[in-house]
Amino acid sequence: MTVRHALVTGAGSGIGKAVALALAAKGHRVSLAGRRAAPLEAVGDEVSAAGGEAFVVAGFDVTDQASVEAGIAEAVGRLGDIAVLVNCAGEAPSAPFEKTGLETWNRVIGINLTGTYLVTQAALPSLKRAGKGRIVNVASTAGLTGYAYVTAYCASKHGVVGLTRALALELARTDVTVNAVCPGFTDTPLLDGAVETITGKTGRSAEDARATLARSNPQGRLVTPQQVAHTVLWLASQEATSITGQAIPVAGGEIMVG
């Protein structure tokens, strides 16, 4: 197969890490983008140990246009034009709407939605040059329905889904596809934050809180990061050439799009 360059934001943990490792296992050169160097370097070591090639783009702040543009230029300089872009950086604080301050609102919208816009806009010329480009935005079931106490997160992920659909139409006559994956409750550090909130407010055990979240999935279990990564792999493949503008739930039947 032709070796292609994939850039993954939020690649230091959770879904981003799983996606980066899966892409590397399929032979992609991977750029690992994020703010903190240590977790990215650990993922890079895993890629290298498995015989792959990784480049760490640390200090990559998706909310800062200059940081994004510099990081993408550096990654392209090291590994060539970006053929696959996976926007995975995200944040999901929980609070009642009336206690969701403007600072929290702006931070969540900035990371989840504006960050996706900034990274995609900066990377798009490279994706077009690479040919058969693939953009995969990691949204959420919160981009397809509503959940209480995460209004900022839901708003941002609905925005990501809307951006995905609109950009897919703009690029439909090119060879760049744009899709979103929408995981349900997934066993990641982000979920740990939701568990802490539940335990702190209710006094329930962490195990009970995790079980409650798992019950929202009709299959009765949490989604794994690897399951999300496999969906990303398919969307990034050449076999998915005719798939664009889609928001695909990975949620055990919790959300059905029809």
Average pLDDT over residues 30-57: 97
3-state helix/strand/coil string of 178-235: EEEEEECCECCHHHHHHHHHHHHHHCCCHHHHHHHHHHCCCCCCCECHHHHHHHHHHH
Catalytically annotated residues: 153
Q: What is the pTM of this model?
A: 0.92
Q: What is the pLDDT of residues 135-166, one digit of tens each?
A: 999 999 999 999 999 999 999 999 999 999 99
Task: Tell which phi-psi region holds residue 244, choosing left (phi > 0), alpha (psi between -120 and 50) or beta.
Answer: beta
Q: What is the pLDDT of residues 84-137, one digit of tens each?
A: 999 999 999 989 999 999 999 999 999 999 999 999 999 999 999 999 999 999
Given CATH 3.40.50.720, say whether it is the number of domain 5-250. yes
| pLDDT of res. 217 | 83
- Give me the residue spans of the domains in the chain: 5-250
| pLDDT of res. 1 | 47
Q: What is the pLDDT of residues 186-209, one digit of tens each?
A: 877 766 666 666 666 666 776 776
Indicate the pLDDT class of residue 172, thresholds 50, 70 and 90: very high
